[in-house]
């Protein structure tokens, strides 16, 4: 769907449209992609929100969302996490992508995991994975809060609250 403004830009003299014409076309392409959704419309919405609100790039946002959902699936009660993921279309896809890219992303996470006795899991492990993906500690906390808030918005406070309460250490981050 082209907006009236986009049609006016297209019909403007060449000198006036060269810079403006790019934006509507890219937006239309993104909207089409988001509707078709590699990861589903809800995940596209969440990732876009993280990019805008936290100021991280799209790839880092997608990876962070996947790491958080992967963490919830591994650390949270399965009977609570699976219904949550079912209410968030595309969550399984980003989660599986993050899991397939490995739990010890980067040298820092691997070194820290080794220093702490082998396998680093829990909240610290998820945080290290996000930091290895390029996020600062502040961004890790902001992204985690935003993802949990988004899950509460879409799946309900009770469902998310039970999961957060069941995972040691998570409540201090959200």
Residue 92 DSSP one-character state: H
70 and 100, same domain (yes or no):
yes
| Within a domain: 124 | yes
Which is higher by pLDDT, 129 or 116? 129
Q: Count CB atoms within 10 A of the CB of residue 170.
A: 20
30 and 50, same domain (yes or no):
no
Mean pLDDT of all residues in 166-170? 91
| Within a domain: 173 | no
Is the CB of residue 26 less than 8 Å from the CB of residue 20? no
What confidence category does residue 11 fall into, taking pLDDT thresholds of 50, 70 and 90? low
Mean pLDDT of all residues in 13-20? 47
Nearest CA-CA partner of 170 in 139, 136, 125, 105: 125
Mean pLDDT of all residues in 97-112? 57
Tokens, residue 35: 């509707």
Stated pTM of the model: 0.69
Q: Which domain holds residue 108?
A: 39-166
24 and 102, same domain (yes or no):
no
Q: What percent of the chain has pLDDT over 70?
A: 66
Say what the pLDDT of residue 83 is: 94
> Domain tally for the chain?
2
pLDDT at residue 108 greater than cutoff 50: no
């Amino acid at each position: 769907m082209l907006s009236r403004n986009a049609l006016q830009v297209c019909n403007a003299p060449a000198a006036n449209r060269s810079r403006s014409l790019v934006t509507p076309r890219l937006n239309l392409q993104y909207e089409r992609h988001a509707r078709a959704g590699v990861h589903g419309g809800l995940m596209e919405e969440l990732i876009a929100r993280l990019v805008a609100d936290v100021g991280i790039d799209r790839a880092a946002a997608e990876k962070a969302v996947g790491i958080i959902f992967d963490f919830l699936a591994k650390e949270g009660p399965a009977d609570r996490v699976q219904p949550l993921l079912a209410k968030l279309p595309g969550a399984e896809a980003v989660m599986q992508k993050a899991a397939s890219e490995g739990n010890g992303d980067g040298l820092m996470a691997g070194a820290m995991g080794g220093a702490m006795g082998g396998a680093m899991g829990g909240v610290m492990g998820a945080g290290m994975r996000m930091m290895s993906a390029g996020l600062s500690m502040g961004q890790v906390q902001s992204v985690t809060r935003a993802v949990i808030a988004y899950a509460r918005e879409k799946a309900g406070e009770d469902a998310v609250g039970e999961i957060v309460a069941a995972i040691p250490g998570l409540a201090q981050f959200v």
